[in-house]
Amino acid sequence: MAEARPDPDQLLERVKAEEAREKRGRLRIFFGASAGVGKTYAMLEAARNMRASGTDVVVGYVEPHGRIETERLLEGLPRLPTLPVSYRGIVRQEFDLDAALARYPQILLVDELAHSNLVGGEPAPRHPKRWQDIEELLAAGVSIWTTVNVQHLESLNDLIYQTTGVRQRETLPDHVFDEADDIELIDLPPDDLIARLHAGKVYVGSQAGTAVERFFRKQNLMALREIALRRVADRVEAASRELPSDRAQARAARDRVLVAVGPDEQAEQLVRAGKRMADALDAEWTVVYVETPSLLRLSDEQRNRRIDELRLAESLGGESVTLDGPSAADALLEYAQTRHATRVIVGAPKRRGWRAWLRPSTATELARRARGFDLVLIASAGRTPPAARAASGPLPASPAIRWDRYAWAAGITAACTLVAWFMYPHFDLSNLVMIYLLGVTVAGLRLGRGPSALTALLSVATYDFFFVPPRYSFAVSDAQYVVTFAAFFTIALVIATLTASVRQQTRVAGARERRTALLYAMSRELSVTRGITNMAQVAVRHVAEVFQCRATVLLPDADGKLRYPTEPPLETSFRGADLAVAQWVADHGRRAGLGSDTLPAAHGLYVPLGDERRTVGVLAVLPDNPRRVLLPEQGHLLQTFASQVALAIERAHLAEIAVQSSLAAERETLRNTLLSSISHDLRTPLAVMAGAGSTLAQHGATLEEATRVSLARSIETTAHEMSELVSNVLDLVRLESGQVALRRDWQTLDDLVGSALTRYQERLAGYHVETRLPPDLPPVWVDATLIVQLLSNLFDNIAKYTPPGTHVTVSAVPAGDFVQLSVEDNGPGLPPGDPARLFDKFQRGSDEGTVVGVGLGLAIAQAIVRAHGGEIEAQRREDGGARFVFTLPATEEAPLTEAPATLAGARGTSP
C-alpha cells in the first residue's frame, strides 16, 4: 500500500478541531475595498432577512454615521445598548462586550472589526482591539457578522501605504481574516463610489477635505479594489487547496521562511514581505533579529522599533526570535541550518563603494555563504515612513547624555598631560604619545564610546599644544608632526572604539549570564523543594528578585477556582492581585494585564503557568517599573521562568498523585494481610470454643467433673484472647487514623506499670517479674490508658514468646525531658533479622500460628510511643533475651518528634 493510512491520532485531532469549530460561533466578514462601498448596508439588509426567517439577530454596534438608509435598516432590529466610556474627558459610546455575552444572541452584528478600543478609557476595556472582543464572543459560541476594509489588513498595510500614501493606524491581524468562516465581498465600481462620495453618502470622518480627495482618487480606488479582489481570490484558492490530506502532506515537506531584520526602517517592509511570501508558499515563517555587539549601542528608541517589528511579526502569525552573535550573518546561517529554512529574506545591501568592500553587509555575506536555502533580497521601498509611528506607544525619550562621563574624559586627558609634563624633560617626545594612548584605553574601558573618542581628540590637541614645538601653541614647526598627529588620532580612535565595544560586550554577556544563573538558581531550588505551596514561595522570591517586582503565584483549589495563597505573604508578595483577571488567564491559558493584549489597563501582569491545554496556576507580577516587563526579552524571560515554575508544579502534582496511589496500594496490601491474618486468628479460637461447647452440650452429663471444667475454661480463655485481638485491631485502626486525641495527665510510672502488671497477673503468674522504679522518678505526661496498653502489649509478648520461669525486669531512668523505660527478659531473645522490623504490622516472633495474635502488639506499642513524642526500639541483650526500650515525656512541652539523645546513643545496636 503506497498510500499511508491516516494516523488515528491525527484523525482524532481533526475530529476534535471540527467539534471545537462547531461549538464556536461563525465569523462572517463583509469585506470591501474602501469606505463607502456599502458593507454596513449589506450587512444590515442580510440581518433583516435573517430576522424575518426567525433567527435571533441582534445589533451589537453599528455606526450609522447619520446615513438615512442605514438608519432605516436599523429600525426593527433589536440593538444592544452601547457602553459610555469616558476618555480624556470625552464620553464615547463603545461596544459593550459583557452585555453581548449576557444577551447571547445567535447572531450579533458588530461594525468595524479593525476598531481599537479606548485602552485608557474608564471603564477600561478588556481587550485593546475589537477583534479580540469578537474572538471571545466567537469562543463563547456567538456568531458574528462584521465589516472590514481592505486597507485595515495588517499584511497589506504597507502595500496600501505605498499605493495610496495613507497609512492606516487601525489594523487587523491577517489570521482573524483568514480564519473567518465566510467572507462576503461588497464590490462597487470606483466611478459609482466617487459619485456616492460627492452625493455625501460616504462617511469620511474628520479627515481634511484634501486628504479625502487624495485618497478617493480613481486610481487609488482601482488599486484598492484590485487588492481586495485578489485577497479574496487568494482566500478562495487557499480554501480549495486545503483538503485535509493535502494539508497533512504539505506540512511534512514544508517551506520555512526566515526574515532577517535589522534596526532600520526597512524591517517593517521585510516582515510584511515575509508574511506574503509565507502565505503564498503556505509556509511557516520566522522573523529573526540578531543582536550583535554593534547593535547594542543603538538608542533605546531604535531598539524599541525592533521590538515593534517582532510584535508585528507575531501579530501576523509568524514566530519571532532574537539571536545573539558576533556577526549577523554567522548567527543567521547557523539558525537557518538548524531550522531547515528554505528561504531567507533580507534587505538589499545598502552600503556602496569602498565601505561595502571593507565591511560587507549581511546580505552580501549571506549570498556568499548560503547553503541549502534561497536568498531573497528585498529592495528598500525608498520612501521614509512618517515619523508619526512614534505615537503608537509610550516610547521613552532617548537616554540623557552622560555629561559626567565627558567630564571624566577631559579629566583623564588632563591627568595624562600632567604626567607627560613631568616626563617631558627626561623622555623623547614620541614616548609621551604612549601616555596619552594609555589614557584613551582607560577611557574606552571605563567611559564608553563617545567619551573615549573625546579623549582621543583632546589628547591630540593637548599633545600638540603643550609638547610639540613651538610649545604652548597649536602651530606645528615641523611638518612630520602632522603624520604623528594623524596616526596618533587614528590609533586612539581605534583603541577607543575597540575597548568600548569590548566593554559593552562584556557587560551584555555579564547580564545574560546573570539571567541564566538566576534561572538556574530558581530551577535548582525548585528541584529540591517539596510541596506545591513551598514551590510557589520559591518562585515568588526568585521572580520578584529577578524582575524587580512584586509577584504571587495563584493556585487553583479543588474546583479549579483560583484562590489567594493561605500562607503568610513574603515581603515581595504581590498582594491584592485581581482574581478575576487571573481566573481569565487560567481559563484561556493566555497572559493578560499590563502590556498584553487582554485587559492592558489591569494592575499587574498575569502569566499562565502551563499551556492552553492545562494551566496549573497563574503567576501575577506587579513590576516596580512597568516598562521592564514590556520589553520582549524580559517578557520571554518571564515566560521562561513561568514555564520552569509550571514544570515544577506539574512535577509536584504528579509526585502527589504517585504518593497517593502508592499509599492506596499499600493500604490495599495491608487490608489483605489484615483480613487473612484476622480470619486465621479468629477461626482458631472459634474452633476451640465451638468444639468445647458442643462437647459439653452433647456429653456434659457423662464427662468427669474435671474435664467439664477444663473444657469450660478453654472456652473462657479463648474468648478473652479473641476479645483482646479485636480490641488490638480496633486500637491500631484508631491510632493510625489519628482519631485518638491523647488525654494526657500527670501519671506516676508505679501506677502505670502496676496497672499493667495487675492486668497480666494471671498470665504472668509463672514468671519472675521485677520492677526497678527509683523513688525519685519524675511523673510522666501521658495518656494513661494508652501507656497501660503499651505495657500490656509488651507483657503479652513476653507471655507469648518466652517460657514460664523467665525473669522479666521493668526499669526506668530519667533522661532529660524524658523518662526511659525498658522491659527486658532473659528468654529466647529476638528472632533473627532487623529488630526494627518487629514493629511492622503483622510481624510475629514465630511464623506459624501456634501463638494467637495478629502481630499487631508491637506495631501498636510503637504507634503509642510515637504519639507521645517518644521512640521505641527492640534490642538484643548481651547475655541473651530481649529488651524493649522506649521513652515517655516528663515535661508538658515535650518535643514531639525529637527522640532524646540517650536513646539515639543506644541505637548503636540496631542497624
Partner 1 sequence: MHQVLVIEDEPGIRAVLRVLLTAEGYRCIEADTALRAEIEARSHKPDLLLVDLGLPDGDGLKVIRRVRAWSPVPIVVLSARTMEEQKVAALDAGADDYITKPFSAPELLARLRAALRRVTHATPSAVLRFGDVRVDLARRAARGADGEIHLTPLEYRVLGCLARQLGSIVMQRQLIREVWGPGREDDSRSLRVCIKNLRAKLEPDPRQPHYLITETGVGYRLRADEDAA
Binding site for partner 1 (CB under 8 A): 716, 719-720, 723, 727, 743, 745-748, 750-751, 753-755, 757-758, 761, 769, 771, 773, 779, 783-785, 788
Nearer to partner 1, 230 or 743 (CB): 743
**Shortest distance (Å) from residue 618 CB to partner 1:** 47
CA torsion sign, 31 to 33 to 34 to 35? Answer: negative
Closest CA to 596 of 118, 98, 129, 169: 129
Phi, psi (rounded to 5 degrees) for 282: 50, 50
Closest CA to 435 of 454, 470, 453, 462: 462
**Shortest distance (Å) from residue 726 CB to partner 1:** 10
Half-sphere exposure of 89 (CA within 13 A, CB side): 0
Nearer to partner 1, 747 or 806 (CB): 747
Query: Which amino acid appears at position 468 of this protein?
Result: V
Nearer to partner 1, 445 or 742 (CB): 742
User: What are the start-end ranges of the H helices in 62-186?
Assistant: 68-74, 97-103, 130-140, 157-164, 174-178
The span from the CA of 429 to the CA of 468, in Å, is 8
**Shortest distance (Å) from residue 786 CB to partner 1:** 9
**Shortest distance (Å) from residue 550 CB to partner 1:** 49
Cell representation of residue 200:
455625501
**What DSSP character marks residue 463?**
I
The span from the CA of 792 to the CA of 861, in Å, is 9
CA torsion sign, 863 to 864 to 869 to 870? Answer: negative
Nearer to partner 1, 44 or 764 (CB): 764
Nearer to partner 1, 714 or 755 (CB): 755
Q: Work out whether strand 549-556 and strand 605-610 pair parallel, antiparallel, or are unpaired.
A: unpaired
Q: Facing residues of 821 across strands?
A: 812, 886
**What DSSP character marks residue 466?**
I
The span from the CA of 238 to the CA of 81, in Å, is 39
Contact 545, 570 (CB under 8 A): no
**Shortest distance (Å) from residue 734 CB to partner 1:** 9
Nearer to partner 1, 367 or 784 (CB): 784
**Shortest distance (Å) from residue 757 CB to partner 1:** 5
The span from the CA of 717 to the CA of 223, in Å, is 109
**Shortest distance (Å) from residue 827 CB to partner 1:** 20
Nearer to partner 1, 548 or 761 (CB): 761
**Shortest distance (Å) from residue 787 CB to partner 1:** 9
Closest CA to 212 of 221, 633, 691: 221
Q: Work out whether strand 592-593 and strand 605-610 pair parallel, antiparallel, or are unpaired.
A: antiparallel
**Shortest distance (Å) from residue 756 CB to partner 1:** 9
Q: Which H or E run includes 205? A: none
Nearer to partner 1, 453 or 711 (CB): 711
Query: Which amino acid appears at position 277 of this protein?
Result: M
The span from the CA of 577 to the CA of 589, in Å, is 17
Closest CA to 28 of 140, 160, 186, 153: 186
Three-state SS at 4: coil
Q: How many helices (H) and strands (E) does the chain have?
A: 29, 24
Nearer to partner 1, 122 or 745 (CB): 745
Closest CA to 48 of 72, 81, 82, 24: 72
**CA 491 centroid distance within chain:** 50
Nearer to partner 1, 314 or 750 (CB): 750
Q: Which H or E run includes 91? A: strand 90-94
Nearer to partner 1, 520 or 746 (CB): 746
Nearer to partner 1, 569 or 778 (CB): 778
Q: Please give, one letter per residue, the 3-state secondary structure of 703-772.
A: CCHHHHHHHHHHHHHHHHHHHHHHHHHHHHHHHHCCCCCCCEEEECHHHHHHHHHHHCCCCCCCCEEEEE
**Shortest distance (Å) from residue 592 CB to partner 1:** 55
**Shortest distance (Å) from residue 751 CB to partner 1:** 5
Q: Work out whether strand 882-889 and strand 818-825 pair parallel, antiparallel, or are unpaired.
A: antiparallel
Nearer to partner 1, 572 or 809 (CB): 809
**Shortest distance (Å) from residue 793 CB to partner 1:** 14
In terms of Cβ atoms closer than 10 Å to its own Cβ (0-12, 13-18, 19+), residue 520 is exposed
Nearer to partner 1, 728 or 820 (CB): 728
Contact 137, 100 (CB under 8 A): yes
**Shortest distance (Å) from residue 875 CB to partner 1:** 24
Nearer to partner 1, 271 or 810 (CB): 810
**Shortest distance (Å) from residue 748 CB to partner 1:** 5
Cell representation of residue 585:
488567564
The span from the CA of 854 to the CA of 847, in Å, is 11
Closest CA to 810 of 796, 793, 791: 791
Phi, psi (rounded to 5 degrees) for 771: -115, 135
The span from the CA of 304 to the CA of 91, in Å, is 32
Nearer to partner 1, 105 or 685 (CB): 685
Phi, psi (rounded to 5 degrees) for 124: -70, 135
Nearer to partner 1, 162 or 748 (CB): 748
**Shortest distance (Å) from residue 679 CB to partner 1:** 20
Nearer to partner 1, 16 or 743 (CB): 743
**Shortest distance (Å) from residue 713 CB to partner 1:** 11
Whether the ω angle into residue 189 lies within 30 degrees of 0, i.e. cis, is: no
**Shortest distance (Å) from residue 828 CB to partner 1:** 25
**Shortest distance (Å) from residue 814 CB to partner 1:** 16
